Amino acid sequence: MKRRDPIHPLVPQLRQDLAGGKISRREFLRYAALLGVSVTAASQMAGMICPKKALAARIRRGGTIKVATGIQKVTHPAQFSWVEPTNIMRQVAEYLTFTDKDNITHPYLAEKWQASDDLKTWTLTLRQGIKFNNGDGLTADDVIFSMNQWLNKDVGSSLLGMMGGYLDPTGIEKINRYQVKLHLKKPEIAVPEHLFHYPALILNHRTFEGDFVKAPHGTGPYTLDVYRESERAVLKRHSDYWQTGADGKPLPYMDSFEFVDMGDEMAPRIAALQSGEIDMIDLATTGGTAVYKALKDDRRVQVKPIGTAQARVLRMRVDLKPWDDNRVRMALKLCQHREKILALAYFGQGLQGHDFHVCPKHPEYCEMPVPAYNPQKAKQLLKEAGYKDGLRVNLAVGSEWTDVVRYAEILKQDAAPAGFNVVLQTMPTSQYWEKWTEVDLGITPWTHRPLGTMVLNLAYINDAEGNPVPWNETNWADPEFSRLLEQANGTLDVDKRRQIFCKLEKIQWEKGSIGIAWWQNNWQIITKRVQNSDPHPTGYMLFNEVWLSS
Amino acid sequence: MAKFILRRFFLLLITMFLVSVAVFMITEASPGNVAKNVLGAFITPEQERSFLAQMGLDQPSYVRYFYWLFGSDWLAARKVGLPLTRTVTDDGFVEWWAVRPDGALVRWKLEGDNLIAVSKLPSVGITSEYNNDNRWKAGAGTTQTVWGVDTANHVVRWQKGSDVKVWSFVIGTGWMESTGGPMEYIPLKKGFIRGDPGISLRTGRPVSKTIFTRLRNSIVLAGIAFVLVMPLALLLGLIAGLREGSLQDRVLSIGGMMFSVIPEFATGIFLILIMAVWLQWVPGATVFGEQAPWERPDMLILPVLTLTLIELGYILRITRASMVEVMKSPYIRTAFLKGLPYWRIVFKHAVRNALMAPITVIMLHVNWLMGGIVIVEVVFGYPGLGKYLLDSAMFKDINALEAGAMILVLLAVGTQLVADIIYTFLNPRIRYT
């Protein structure tokens, strides 16, 4: 143990687990990657050959891809609060890590990372020879500068909420020109995942002055040529990009990237996609249901589904009547006919949920039976809670989310036999977001996150002072749950972690404040000529290696 | 006549003023939160406060209206103590600078507790930075304050020496402790009556840059439709009206009615389904590039066709009714009895009177075509003025909304004036004094 082993001590353990069938190959890859082993090395350990994309002969260079999206106002990348602008800017600037569609996190601008045994010290090593598109070389100073931006209160990045809990600006140490060490305040396993959170773009410390559009200097495959809010954005090929394509020449394959703002309505975007005027619709925030429905049988487009941990969460404020009574909450949860809801609200495109915020796609998911629809038991619970004549409740629903509306309608119908009179309060989506934490009963969309611990830490605990954390929309917290979660946050062994998650899931199912009827699929919907493009659960456009057939 | 036009002009000014006040008040009273619309639903109260302050939205509404109308730069210049000027960089970004007595442009930024001036000599294009701590003036208690132009087009009151300690990161230096920061913001603008409608809250771009592109797009769309529809509708209306009850009258009236009662979103969708999705003759949506809207005229076909179908029936039926009425009137009968040739009766005597009603409707429709084609614009994703106003209203983007409203008022009053003048030619008995 004197000599510093290049491999994290837990990796051999993980390898045994893999051999013994305790974890799947995918989990092994994931965790090996988390611990700083490159994916190629890890997949060799896992006894499989890394699928090399050997398509060089077929690849065609050149061309322009057109994407319909919202061209929003952009100033500071760390302030991004919507995914659309990041899908433009992630082609210009890049992240330290990269979480792929299978939730495996890879090294990216950071060539590798190493975590200490106690998960409190992380060393990031940058890839050398990467250049910003203005010619400056990427160094540790840029990383430290960017991180300081994320953690600066005046900038107001959502990364502050995510990373501020375990990292202070003073905990960032520069080791040399290409190495940065992070000294965390408490153990954290999701550091590489957080480094791929969408506002975490690495900025050029020499030129960035708060407005990225004025000095669009990133390391990405494209450069920003035109950015006109609410109209269009044009990206041009960055000729000095650091990644090499399968044909041996630098990426990217395409010449340019064009984003067009066609307004919020889906119909014109669909028509434009059908006639080939655009190649893709950005579905990151609008959701793809309307587009999926319109185009699923269209032979001119490719519809690529992907399972996600994205859900419509039926949330009940536990500090407001009648939801302060767990029996009432349980009664409403039992009124969800999950199979029916998934089939009618989302065309069967997803997985049934369990009323705890852990998705079967998460590595630490502990298998549990899907709760059955049980109005009799719900009725009895309501009676016990003192509502023997039934209960009238208002359900806040954002009307532009059609699947949420349908979910609410089905729930209203299926909850009636139990004695619930659910009154739907529809409102424009923007209005729902104004009071999403305030309504007593509502349905809130939650986005995908690659690790099971991530959402639980965001939404179901109290802060150090005992107040609900900002996104704890139901004000629910449970001492046992918080303790177990804290334990899970510092546990790397998947098996042990899953055991903790069995308990966490059980607590949230029995006493929790939410119902999750289904986990949604996402789709990437593109024209036939777009090649080598994969859907991503978060709707990110990772188009470095995309090419267009003629 | 001159007096009449002058009177109309004053009426226009008063209407514009009243409309601008009304739009301001309605936007003010409507629910919604600009900060959340722009930054997303998950912002913290501190972020919201800072956003509202930087946008100048923390001021009372009458102050904001005043700034919107007359501008804020002259007031801000007095606070800074130097005249201010607005420049446009080569990349097209609008920048505000203070002008030093020697002619150099200057702005300021705060690094820790130090005030740094950034100056630029416009003639030579040299920029330099220097410490400008001598501008600090004593404020309340132990604090010191200074007013200056920042790098994001505000006039800012910076303060230091307060009890609040903040850490801020300075490029090249690292973390510095400072005892204050920006306390008050005045966003700089010239004001509407000086030709600057301000910055769009939604997009962060000057409204004037976007709105004229949008207006041009709408004018192109509406103009083509107008030029196609009006002569056609008038002609067909006259033909139908001349021979009331004939087969062609029935076909034209019923056909016209059919298309004008189907709402434009339905017509539009049907046209897309038939012409773009099924037959694949023309694109079903508008995707414009640099040379919009000229680079792809084929994209205009369906929107124009939709507008044409809607408008055609309406104007046609009004012209027809008017023509029928005129043809029944005693003076036409007299003309027939006098033995005048048929074409002469129609063109010399009937048409001029029959056109009175359609002209009024047409002129009212010019206005409708500009703002009211929003539905057609939304259906086809056409970047026009109506859609811009709709989006702005959804966002409570007051500057954009006001500018759009002013354009529409101008159009409404202007077209009405044109209609009034046309009347005098059609019917010489009409006089305005």
**Each residue of A307-342: pLDDT tens digit?**
889 899 999 999 988 899 999 999 999 999 999 999
Q: Identify the bridge partners of residue A99 per DSSP, sorted by sequence position.
A: A105
Q: Residues 6 or more apart from B112 whose CB is under 8 A from it?
A: B168, B170, B173, B176, B177, B178
Per DSSP, B99 falls in state E
- The three-state secondary structure class of A169 is helix
pLDDT at B184: 82
pLDDT at A514: 94
Q: Average pLDDT in the A520-532 region?
A: 89
Q: How far apart are CA B219 and CA B293, in angstroms?
A: 11
pLDDT at A15: 67
Indicate yes or no: CB of B288 within 8 angstroms of CB of A73: no
pLDDT at B420 over 70: yes
pLDDT at A48 over 50: no
> How many other C-beta atoms are found inside a 10 Å radius of the C-beta of residue B147?
21
Q: Average pLDDT in the B92-104 region?
A: 84
Q: Average pLDDT in the A262-273 region?
A: 84
Indicate yes or no: CB of B169 within 8 angstroms of CB of A434: no
Query: How many residues are there in chain B?
Result: 433
Q: Which amino acid is residue A330, in one-letter code?
A: M
pLDDT at A2: 39
- The three-state secondary structure class of A234 is strand
Under 8 Å between Cβ of A169 and A159? no
Indicate yes or no: CB of B381 within 8 angstroms of CB of A470: no
Q: How far apart are CA B152 and CA B185, in angstroms?
A: 11
Indicate yes or no: CB of A205 within 8 angstroms of CB of B276: no
Q: How far apart are CA A109 and CA A163, in angstroms?
A: 19
Q: What is the mean pLDDT of chain A?
A: 85
pLDDT at B371 over 80: no
**Which residue of A69, A151, A154, A170 is the best one to mutate when testing the B interface, meaning the one whose CB has the most B CBs within 10 A?**
A154
pLDDT confidence tier of residue B175, bands split at 50, 70 and 90? very low
Give me the residues of A, 265-284, that contact B with CB < 8 A: 265, 267-269, 271-272, 274-275, 277-278
Q: How far apart are CA A316 and CA A319, in angstroms?
A: 9
- Minimal CA separation from B152 to chain A, in Å: 9
Q: Average pLDDT in the A239-252 region?
A: 86
Distance of CA A2 to the CA centre of its chain: 39
In A, minimum Cα distance to B284 occurs at: A271
Per DSSP, A206 falls in state T
pLDDT at A49 over 80: no
Indicate yes or no: CB of B42 within 8 angstroms of CB of A158: yes
For residue B379, list chain A residues with Cβ-Cβ distance below 8 A: 265, 267-268
Q: How far apart are CA B223 and CA B226, in angstroms?
A: 5
Tell me: cis bond preceding A252? Omega within 30 of 0 counts.
yes
Per-residue pLDDT tens over the stretch A426-456: 998 878 887 888 899 999 988 888 888 888 9
A267 or B42, which is more confident:
A267
Q: How far apart are CA B151 and CA A76, in angstroms?
A: 14
pLDDT at A255: 92
Q: Which stretches of B255-399 are assigned E, i.e. beta strand?
A: none
Q: How far apart are CA A143 and CA A416, in angstroms?
A: 56
Q: How far apart are CA A399 and CA B134, in angstroms?
A: 57
Retrieve residue A511's tokens.
């006493």
- Minimal CA separation from A32 to chain B, in Å: 33
Per-residue pLDDT tens over the stretch A384-401: 999 988 899 999 999 888
pLDDT at B239 over 80: yes
Helices (H), B165-284: 207-242, 247-261, 264-271
Quick one: three-class SS letters along B22-42? HHHHHHHHCCCCHHHHHHCCC
Q: How far apart are CA A227 and CA A465, in angstroms?
A: 44
Measured between CB atoms, does A102 come within 8 Å of chain B?
no
Q: Which of A7-11, B40-44, B45-49 has the lowest mean pLDDT?
A: A7-11
Q: Identify the bridge partners of residue B87 per DSSP, sorted by sequence position.
A: B95
Measured between CB atoms, does A339 come within 8 Å of chain B?
no
Interface predicted TM-score of the whole assembly (ipTM), two decimals: 0.75
pLDDT confidence tier of residue A52, bands split at 50, 70 and 90? very low
Under 8 Å between Cβ of B94 and B86? yes
Q: Average pLDDT in the A88-100 region?
A: 91
pLDDT at A3 over 50: no
Closest residue to B283, CB basis, from A156, A275, A430: A275
pLDDT confidence tier of residue B242, bands split at 50, 70 and 90? confident
Q: How far apart are CA B93 and CA B86, in angstroms?
A: 10
pLDDT at B113 over 80: no
Under 8 Å between Cβ of B11 and B432? no
Under 8 Å between Cβ of A110 and A124? yes
Under 8 Å between Cβ of A354 and A505? yes
pLDDT at A242 over 80: yes
> How many other C-beta atoms are found inside a 10 Å radius of the C-beta of residue B17?
13
Per-residue pLDDT tens over the stretch A399-428: 888 889 999 999 999 999 999 999 999 998
Measured between CB atoms, does A299 come within 8 Å of chain B?
no
Q: Which of A350-359, A489-498, B231-240 has the lowest mean pLDDT?
A: A489-498
Q: How far apart are CA A281 and CA B229, in angstroms?
A: 35
The number of helix segments (H) and strand segments (E) in chain A equals: 17, 19
Closest residue to A272, CB basis, from B43, B171, B284: B284
Under 8 Å between Cβ of A506 and A296? no
pLDDT at A99 over 50: yes
Indicate yes or no: CB of B204 within 8 angstroms of CB of A229: yes
Retrieve residue A520's tokens.
């949604």
What percentage of chain B reaches a pLDDT higher than 90?
Answer: 1
Indicate yes or no: CB of A278 within 8 angstroms of CB of B31: no
pLDDT at B103: 81
- The three-state secondary structure class of B262 is coil
Under 8 Å between Cβ of A229 and A180? no
Question: Measuring CA to CA, which residue among A56, A457, A477 is closest to residue A246?
Answer: A56
Q: Give CA separation, B188 vs A523, B67, B76, B81, B118, in Å.
A: 44, 9, 8, 15, 18
Under 8 Å between Cβ of A56 and A269? no
pLDDT at A115 over 70: yes
Q: Give CA separation, A159 vs A454, A462, A475, B174, B189, in Å.
A: 13, 18, 22, 20, 33
In A, minimum Cα distance to B38 occurs at: A73
Q: How far apart are CA B198 and CA B192, in angstroms?
A: 8
Retrieve residue B365's tokens.
């429709």
pLDDT at A304 over 80: yes
Q: Average pLDDT in the B299-303 region?
A: 87
Indicate yes or no: CB of A210 within 8 angstroms of CB of B151: yes
**Highest-scoring range by mean pLDDT, A295-299, A371-375, B210-214, B410-414:** A371-375
Retrieve residue A83's tokens.
């995914």
The string of DSSP letters for A373-416 reads P-HHHHHHHHHHTT-TT-EEEEEEEETT-HHHHHHHHHHHHHHG
Positive or negative: CA dihedral B32, B34, B37, B41: negative
Query: How many residues are there in chain A?
Result: 550
Per-residue pLDDT tens over the stretch A127-137: 999 999 998 99
Q: How far apart are CA B333 and CA B338, in angstroms?
A: 9
Question: Measuring CA to CA, which residue among B77, B91, B57 is closest to residue B190?
Answer: B77
Q: How far apart are CA B403 and CA B64, in angstroms?
A: 15
Under 8 Å between Cβ of B393 and B298? no
Q: Which amino acid is residue A285, in one-letter code?
A: T
Q: Average pLDDT in the B129-152 region?
A: 81
Under 8 Å between Cβ of A235 and A88? yes
Burial of A244 per CB tally in 10 Å (0-12, 13-18, 19+): exposed
Angle ∠(A113,A119,A122) on CA atoms, nearest 5: 30
Give me the residues of A, 166-225, that contact B with CB < 8 A: 169-170, 205-206, 208-211, 214
**Which residue of B91, B118, B203 is the best one to mutate when testing the A interface, meaning the one whose CB has the most A CBs within 10 A?**
B203
pLDDT at A77 over 80: yes
pLDDT at A270 over 80: yes
Indicate yes or no: CB of A271 within 8 angstroms of CB of B41: no
> How many other C-beta atoms are found inside a 10 Å radius of the C-beta of residue B148?
24
Q: How far apart are CA B227 and CA A409, in angstroms?
A: 48
Which run of H or of E encompasses A360? none
- Minimal CA separation from A443 to chain B, in Å: 15
Q: How far apart are CA A432 and CA A426, in angstroms?
A: 9
- The three-state secondary structure class of B16 is helix
Give me the residues of A, 416-455, that contact B with CB < 8 A: 430-431, 433-434, 436
Q: Average pLDDT in the B155-169 region?
A: 66
Q: Residues 6 or more apart from A510 whose CB is under 8 A from it?
A: A330
In A, minimum Cα distance to B169 occurs at: A148
- The three-state secondary structure class of B107 is strand
B86-95 long-range CB contacts below 8 Å, 24 or more apart? B86/B188, B86/B190, B87/B122, B91/A214, B93/A214, B94/B153, B94/B206, B95/B153
Q: How far apart are CA A494 and CA A517, in angstroms?
A: 26
- The three-state secondary structure class of B158 is strand
